[in-house]
Amino acid sequence: MSITKICCIGAGYVGGPTMAVIAQKCPHIQVTVVDLNEERIAAWNDENVDNIPIYEPGLSDIVAEARGRNLFFSTNVEKAIDEAQIIFISVNTPTKTYGKGKGMAADLKYIELCARQIARIAKDNKIVVEKSTLPVRTAEAIKSILDNTGNGVQFQILSNPEFLAEGTAVTDLLNPDRILIGGDTSVEGQKAIQSLVDVYANWVPADKILTTNVWSSELSKLTANAFLAQRISSVNAMSELCEKTGADVNEVARAIGMDSRIGPKFLKASVGFGGSCFQKDILNLVYIAKSYGLNEVADYWEQVIIMNDHQKRRFSNKMVQTLYNTVADKKIAFLGWAFKKDTNDTRESAAIYIADDLINEQAQIAVYDPKVSSRKVLADLDYLETRTSEKNSANVTSFSSPYEACASAHAIAVLTEWDEFIAYDWQKIYDGMQKPAFVFDGRNILNRVALESIGFIYQGIGS
Residue from 6, 91, 232, 242 touching ligand UGA (CB under 6 A): that is 232
- Our finding on whether 133 is near ligand UGA (CB under 6 A) is yes
Q: Residue 89 Cβ, how far from ligand NAD at the closest point, in Å?
A: 9
Q: Is 165 annotated as a binding residue?
A: yes
13 near ligand NAD, rule: CB under 6 A: yes
Is 277 an interacting residue with respect to ligand UGA (CB under 6 A)? yes
Considering only 85-93, 296-304, 333-341, 387-395, which stretch makes contact with ligand NAD by CB under 6 A?
85-93
- For the CB of residue 157, give the shortest distance to ligand UGA in the complex, in Å: 20
Closer CB to ligand NAD, 268 or 340, in the complex: 340
Please tell me the distance from the alpha carbon of residue 421 to that of residue 405, in angstroms, as a whole number: 13
Contact partner at residue 225 from ligand UGA, ligand NAD, none, CB < 5 to 8 Å by partner kind: ligand UGA
* Partner whose footprint covers residue 9, from ligand NAD, ligand UGA, none (CB < 5 to 8 Å by kind): ligand NAD
Contacting ligand UGA (CB under 6 A), which of 106, 108, 228, 437? 228
Query: Total number of residues binding ligand UGA (CB under 6 A)?
Result: 20
Q: What is the b/e burial string over 131-157, where b = at least 16 CB atoms within 10 angstroms of the residue's CB?
A: bbbbbbebbebbbebbeeebeeeebbb
**What is the smallest separation between the CB atom of 219 and ligand NAD, expressed in angstroms?**
14
- Name which of 10 and 182 has its Cβ closer to ligand NAD: 10
Taking CB within 5 to 8 Å according to partner kind, which of ligand UGA, ligand NAD, none is near residue 121? none
Interface pick for ligand UGA out of 93, 239, 250, 270 (rule CB under 6 A): 270
Looking at residues 320 to 359 of the shown chain, list those that interact with ligand UGA (rule: CB under 6 A).
339-340
Measured over the CA atoms of residue 9, residue 12, residue 13 and residue 17, the dihedral's sign is positive
- Smallest distance from ligand NAD to CB 225, Å: 8
Please tell me whether residue 110 binds ligand NAD under the rule CB under 6 A.
yes
- Which of 119, 164, 335, 359 is in the footprint of ligand UGA by CB under 6 A? 164
162 in contact with ligand UGA (CB under 6 A): yes
**Sequence-distant (≥ 6) Cβ neighbours of residue 113 within 8 angstroms:** none
Which residues have C-beta within 8 Å of that of residue 61, sequence separation ≥ 6? Answer: 49
Using the contact rule CB under 6 A, the part of the chain among 6-14, 314-322, 368-376, 449-457 near ligand NAD is: 6-14
| Known catalytic membership, residue 277 | yes
For residues 260-299, which are near ligand NAD according to CB under 6 A?
276-277
346: contact with ligand NAD by CB under 6 A: no
Instruction: State the binding partner of 40 from ligand NAD, ligand UGA, none, CB within 5 to 8 A by kind.
Output: ligand NAD
Of the candidate residues 12, 150, 274, 462, the single one contacting ligand NAD (CB under 6 A):
12
- What is the three-state SS of the chain? CCCCEEEEECCCCCHHHHHHHHHHHCCCCEEEEECCCHHHHHHHCCCCHHHCCCCCCCHHHHHHHHECCCEEEECCHHHHHHHCCEEEECCCCCECCCCCCCCCCECCHHHHHHHHHHHHHCCCCEEEEECCCCCCCHHHHHHHHHHHHCCCCCEEEEECCCCCCCCCHHHHHHCCCCEEEEECCCHHHHHHHHHHHHHHCCCCCHHHEEEEEHHHHHHHHHHHHHHHHHHHHHHHHHHHHHHHHCCCHHHHHHHHHCCCCCCCCCCCCCCCCCCCCHHHHHHHHHHHHHHCCCHHHHHHHHHHHHHHHHHHHHHHHHHHHHCCCCCCCCEEEEECCCCCCCCCCCCCCHHHHHHHHHHHCCCEEEEECCCCCHHHHHHHHHHHCCCCHHHHHHHEEECCCHHHHHCCCCEEEECCCCHHHHHCCHHHHHHHCCCCCEEEECCCCCCHHHHHHHCCEEECCCC
For residue 9, the minimal CB distance to ligand NAD (Å) is 5
Residues of the shown chain interacting with ligand NAD in the complex, contacts defined by CB under 6 A = 9-15, 34-37, 40, 77, 90-93, 110, 113-114, 132-133, 162, 164, 166, 276-277
Binding site for ligand UGA (CB under 6 A): 133, 162-166, 225, 228, 232, 266-268, 270, 273-275, 277-278, 339-340
| Binding site as annotated, residues for substrate | 162-166, 221-225, 261, 268-274, 339-340, 443
